[in-house]
């Protein structure tokens, strides 16, 4: 029987998290799943020092999903500007489509609302990733029409393979709907 558990990452998990995030988004291994960015970006997906800061700062955590003791999914959850921020969402490509990601997203929303008292969750998504935007829309997120520039020239977050990348902010109310 497989046992799935949640836990908060520590700095000891940084190497495993970097490997998981890279496998989900970059290179040929990422093409096994549907979240690949391999045709959009090369290089790093996450910088270990940025990850360390995210793990250590207040009102910020990296949530891990472990299956039989091994990390198979993760996400960064933080409070930013009075709302929850959800990012670095990664599921092992061989396990994508099996519900782990939906469970992780729900747990992050629960923590933001029940433990931190936040009423909304935001995230940024590369706006040309239609299938990813649709995934979040099915889970109650809405497009805000707010765009943020892609950090061209900052190789800590990848090497763009095209020049039309930008982020769109998606948002969801965490308050009970009538």
What's the pTM value of the predicted model, to 2 decimals? 0.92
- The CA–CA distances, whole Å, from 134 to 4, 33, 96, 158, 171 equal 26, 16, 16, 23, 13
What's the pLDDT band for 80 if we cut at 50, 70, 90?
Answer: very high
What's the pLDDT band for 177 if we cut at 50, 70, 90?
Answer: low
pLDDT at 42: 87
Query: How does pLDDT run across 31-70, given as a tens digit for each residue?
Result: 887 777 888 888 888 999 999 999 999 999 999 999 988 9
Q: List the CATH code of the domain at 4-173.
A: 3.40.630.30
Domain ranges of the chain: 4-173
């Amino acid at each position: 029987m497989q046992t799935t558990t949640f836990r908060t990452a520590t700095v000891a998990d940084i190497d495993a998290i970097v490997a998981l995030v890279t496998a989900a988004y970059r290179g040929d291994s990422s093409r096994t799943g549907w979240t690949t960015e391999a045709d959009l970006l090369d290089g790093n997906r996450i910088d270990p020092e940025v990850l360390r800061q995210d793990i250590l700062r207040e009102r910020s955590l990296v949530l891990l999903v472990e299956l039989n003791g091994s990390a198979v999914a993760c996400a960064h959850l933080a409070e930013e500007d009075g709302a929850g921020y959800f990012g670095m969402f990664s599921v092992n490509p061989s396990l994508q489509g099996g519900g782990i990601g939906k469970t992780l997203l729900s747990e992050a929303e629960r923590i933001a609302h029940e433990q931190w008292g936040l009423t909304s969750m935001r995230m940024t998504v590369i706006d040309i990733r239609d299938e990813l935007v649709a995934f979040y829309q099915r889970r109650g997120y809405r497009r805000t029409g707010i765009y943020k520039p892609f950090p061209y020239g900052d190789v800590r977050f990848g090497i763009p393979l095209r020049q039309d990348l930008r982020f769109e902010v998606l948002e969801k109310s965490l308050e009970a709907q009538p």
